[in-house]
Structure 1
Amino acid sequence: MRRTLPRAESGKTLIPRRVATRTVVDVEPTQVSRTGRGAVTRVWPPHPMRSAIMMLAFAAALYVIEFVNVLGFQNRFIGWGGIKPLELSGLDGILFAPLLHLNWEHLGANTLPLVVLGFLAMSGGIAQFVAVLSVIWLASGIGTWLTGGPGTTHIGASGLIFGLFAYLLVRGFFNRSFLQILLAAALFFYYGYMLWGVLPTQGGISWQGHLFGAVGGVLAAWLVTRSDKPKRPALPGTV
C-alpha cells in the first residue's frame, strides 16, 4: 500500500529526517568487571606443589651458598657481598646480602619462616610473587644501605622475611578480603613477636633491614592491589 507523504505549503514534499539519538545503557555503580578477582583474594597458591618446590629450592640454594662460603672461602663471602652502609663498595650487597648468613644457626633460624611465608605469598601466582619479592628485596637493601651504622656489614634473609610477613598482614585490608584478613590474624598470632625486630632493641641485629623490608612488604601489597583493581566498563558511545 502506497503511503502519501505530507506536503509543505510551498508545494515541496516533506521528507522525514532521521534524528540522531543517544543510546544510554544503565550501569549500576557496583557493576564492574570481576576478571581475576579470585586471584586477588586467594589465600592459597593456585599450584601448591609447584610453589612449595620453588620455596624449598630457594632455601636449598641458600644452604649451598653457605656450604661454599664456610668450607671453600672461610666466610669471605660476607665481606664481599654484605651491605656496607653509605659505602660504594657495599652497594652490591643490596643484591647479595639476603643470600648470605653469619653461620648455620643464623640460616637455620631463617629457613622455616622464609619457606612458609614465601609459599603463602605465592597465592597470587609466581609472577606476582617475583614482583612482590623484588620490591621487598630492594626496599630492605636500599634502606639498610642508607641508614645502617657506619663500619657495619649487614647480611641475611630476615629482611625478606619481615617484608613477606608485612605483605601478608596488610594485603587483606587493601583487598577487602575476609579470608586474607583471617590468615593475617593467624600469622600475627604465630609470628607477631617478630615485629619487635624492627626496633633497635638488640645489638648485632640489622633492625634497619627488618624495618625497610616490612616497609617494602606494605608497599608491595599496595602496588599489587592497585594493579589488580577491577576496571569499570566503558559506556557505549552514540549511535
Structure 2
Amino acid sequence: GIFPRTLLGLRGIICEPFIHKDMAHLANNSLPLLVLMMALLYFYRPIALKVIWQGLLFSGVLTWLIARPAYHIGASGVIYFLVSFVFFSGIFSRNYRLIAVSLVVVFIYGSLLWYLFPIDAEISWEGHLSGFVVGIFLAYRYKKVLPKPDTYDWEEDTYQKDDFDKLFDDDGNFSPPQKEGEL
C-alpha cells in the first residue's frame, strides 16, 4: 500500500487499489467501483481512460503527500475520485442528462461524504479526501471536453419558420392568419 513520504511507499500509488484488508473490504469496494466505472465509460467515453489513469495517479500521490504515517490500502480513494468526478462533471457540463446522473450518484453515494473526515482510525480518510479532491480537479480540468447539451434547429438564430410554424405566436399559441376583411 501507500506509506506516506517514504521512497518505498511510492510503489503503493499503483498497488493501493488492488490491496485489501479482507474479503469484506474487497466486496464493499467492488460494487461501487463497478457502477461508477460503468458510468464513467458510458457517459465520458472519449476521456474515460485518461481520467482513470490520472485519477489513480494523482489521488495516490496526494495521499502519499498528506496522509498520516501508516499503510493506506483499498480502492476507496478511486471510488471517491469517481464519485466526485461524475458528480462535478455533470454540474460543470450543464447537460441535463449528466446532471441527472450526478443526482443519482448523490442519491446512491451521498453518505460517503462522512468518511472524508477522521471518523475511524482504521479508515484512510486521507485517501478518501485525496480521491475526492482529485475528482473535482479533473472534472474542472476536462469541463471543456464534456458532452454539450443537445441543440435543435429551432434554437439557432438562422432558423427559418415554415408555413406551419407561422400559425403559432412566440408563446406557442395558435393564431390563424387573418383574412382580409376580418377583424
State the AA in 1 paired with 2:79.
Answer: I
State the AA in 1 paired with 2:44.
Answer: G
Partner of 1:224 in structure 2?
A: 142
The superposition leaves residues 190-222 of structure 1 with CA deviations (integer Å, 9 ceiling, x where unpaired) of 210011111111111111111111111111212
Q: Secondary structure at the match of 1:91?
A: helix
- Aligned-residue identity in percent: 37
The superposition leaves residues 10-59 of structure 1 with CA deviations (integer Å, 9 ceiling, x where unpaired) of xxxxxxxxxxxxxxxxxxxxxxxxxxxxxxxxxxxxxxxxxxxxxxxxxx
Q: Distance in 2 between matches of 1:219 and 1:189?
A: 22
What does 1:1-239 align with in structure 2 at a 5 Å threshold? 82-122=1-41, 123-125=43-45, 127-150=46-69, 152-227=70-145
8 Å contact 1:83–1:97 — kept in the other structure? yes
Partner of 1:61 in structure 2?
A: none
Q: Secondary structure at the match of 2:30?
A: helix
Q: Given the two structures, how large is their TM-score scaled by the length of structure 2?
A: 0.76
The aligned length equals: 147
Q: Distance in 1 between matches of 2:112 and 2:85?
A: 14
How far did residue 98 of structure 1 move? 1.0
Q: Which has the larger radius of gyration?
A: 1
8 Å contact 1:139–1:215 — kept in the other structure? no
Q: Distance in 2 between matches of 1:197 and 1:135?
A: 22
How far did residue 169 of structure 1 move? 0.8
State the AA in 1 paired with 2:60.
Answer: G
Q: Distance in 1 between matches of 2:90 and 2:141?
A: 13
**RMSD over equivalenced CA pairs, Å:** 1.5
Q: What residue ranges of structure 1 are gaps of 5+ in the alignment?
A: 1-81, 231-239
